[in-house]
Amino acid sequence: MSSEPIRTGGDAGYYTTTQRLLHWIIFGLITAQYAVGAVMPHIGRNTPDESWVSWHMSIGATILFLICLRLLTRFLHPVALLETGPKWQRILAALTHASIYLLILLMCILGWAAASFQGWTIYIVGLVPLPPLAAKGTAWAHTAGDVHDILLYVLLVPIVLHVLAALYHQYVLGDGVFTRMTLPARD
């Protein structure tokens, strides 16, 4: 089978180097975020915003910044959907991508609100402070933290689907779809 993906025309089927780098950096940060979230203490009323908790908030703010940048690059350089496979697979792929973006954005915003509930300041890359989304002790911001905790499991579903689909395209179909996001890119 061909190692080049079937595309809709021109280079519209390929992601730019910036898009690819953002994809893999965000993937690495989300992986790190799950690891940090697993070892950090449960956040209660008197939990200090230090150590693993501080790392978790900083990584989350960085993910929020990068996912916004990723969406901007996707808007500025749209990549056409491939015209291969059954229609249901193309629809599932589009829904999976959209749900990953939406859930990551939502989780970051909810986590930010939960930090605001505690009165904590969140820093992008540990350097740039973000303003609070709510006043300390605001009830909705506490609820946002609870929803954030639930969505961490929901986000795993489209992530696992995305990874499995990429591996299926690479190792079963061998259709080159996986190479659209691997480095180095063909800019």
The answer to whether residue 156 scores a pLDDT higher than 50 is: yes
| Position 164 in a domain | yes
Q: Mean pLDDT throughout 160-187?
A: 83
Q: Mean pLDDT throughout 138-163?
A: 96
Q: What is the DSSP letter of 168?
A: I
| Position 85 in a domain | yes
Instruction: Report the CATH number at residue 104.
Output: 1.20.950
What is the pLDDT at residue 13? 67
CB 169, CB 175: distance < 8 Å = yes
Give me the number of domains the chain comprises: 1
| Position 97 in a domain | yes
The per-residue pLDDT of the chain, averaged, comes to 88
Q: Is the peptide bond before 184 cis (omega within 30 degrees of 0)?
A: yes
What is the pLDDT at residue 112? 97
| Position 186 in a domain | no
What is the pLDDT at residue 9? 38
Question: Is the model's pTM score more than 0.85?
Answer: yes
Cα angle value 49/53/56 (rounded, 5°): 130
Beta strands in the chain (DSSP E): 122-124, 128-130
Instruction: Give phi and psi for 73, each to the nearest 5.
Output: -65, -35
| Position 140 in a domain | yes
Residue-wise pLDDT tens digits, 47-91? 888 899 999 999 999 999 999 999 999 999 988 777 777 888 889
